[in-house]
Amino acid sequence: MKNREYMRFRVKNQIIFVFIIVLIIFINIGCKITYNMSRISDEIYELQKLKFGENTKINELKYFRDRGKLLEKLGMSIKDTGDTLYILEKRGAQGGYSYASWTRTDSVFCNDYDGKLTQKSPFSYYKRKLISEWDIKKIKEAEEYSSDFYPRPIIYATRIIFKGNLYNIDCIFFKDIIIEPSFW
């Protein structure tokens, strides 16, 4: 008799345990935060217009960013635990478009106006490192150190910090950094 009661007790506990595990899984799936990357692209555009004034380059950057759905391609890897997304964009003098975005765990690179993804970043490791540190003073110093003997394209940098279901967007622009520290 005691053995039978013990078996019922054990089966009951196992059922409760399985129920709790299933409940935890459903809660985690249901609470997963997803970000509307199309809306974030619109907000980047509005902030760039506000900070830098509306111009053709900013309009073109938004066009290429949206056309290639570049933010959506990285959106799946953004974690909701304080992840940060960095973006570098530039329009070349002859119409080319360069794009790089990255988080701690993933990256998306695009070079040229066709919107095709590449494995290699169109921006140097040094530029990506400067942006990842988001040290504006250091970025401006590197910009000033580069020569102004020939025209340099403007690079637009964006940082998006995700916390829970909120995010904060900041952006800057600078002239392309031609001379990097290895040449100083």
Q: What is the pLDDT along the chain (184 residues), one digit of tens a residue?
A: 566 665 666 666 667 665 666 556 555 544 455 677 788 888 888 888 888 887 777 777 777 777 667 777 665 566 656 788 899 988 876 777 888 888 888 788 877 655 567 778 888 888 999 999 999 999 988 888 876 767 888 899 999 998 877 889 999 999 988 877 764 4
What count of Cα atoms within 13 Å lies in the side-chain half-sphere of residue 155?
A: 24
Q: In this structure, are 15 and 59 located in the same domain? A: no
Q: In this structure, are 95 and 28 located in the same domain? A: no
Q: In this structure, are 28 and 117 located in the same domain? A: no
How high is the pLDDT of residue 171? 93
Domains: count for the chain: 2
Specify the DSSP class assigned to residue 183: G
Q: In this structure, are 25 and 87 located in the same domain? A: no
Q: In this structure, are 48 and 135 located in the same domain? A: yes
Domain, as residue range, for 111: 37-183
Q: In this structure, are 21 and 50 located in the same domain? A: no
How high is the pLDDT of residue 168? 92
| Beta-bridge partners for 100 | 88, 109
Q: In this structure, are 46 and 117 located in the same domain? A: yes
Strand order across the beta sheet in which 154-163 lies: 117-118, 107-111, 97-102, 84-91, 154-163, 166-175
Q: In this structure, are 9 and 55 located in the same domain? A: no
Backbone phi and psi for residue 171, each to the nearest 5 degrees, phi listed first: -145, 150
Cβ–Cβ under 8 Å, residues 82 and 163: yes
Q: In this structure, are 155 and 100 located in the same domain? A: yes
Residues with Cβ within 8 Å of residue 40, at least 6 apart in sequence: 71, 160, 167, 169
How high is the pLDDT of residue 1? 55
Q: In this structure, are 85 and 166 located in the same domain? A: yes
Q: In this structure, are 16 and 42 located in the same domain? A: no
How high is the pLDDT of residue 41? 84
Q: In this structure, are 43 and 10 located in the same domain? A: no
pTM of the model: 0.74
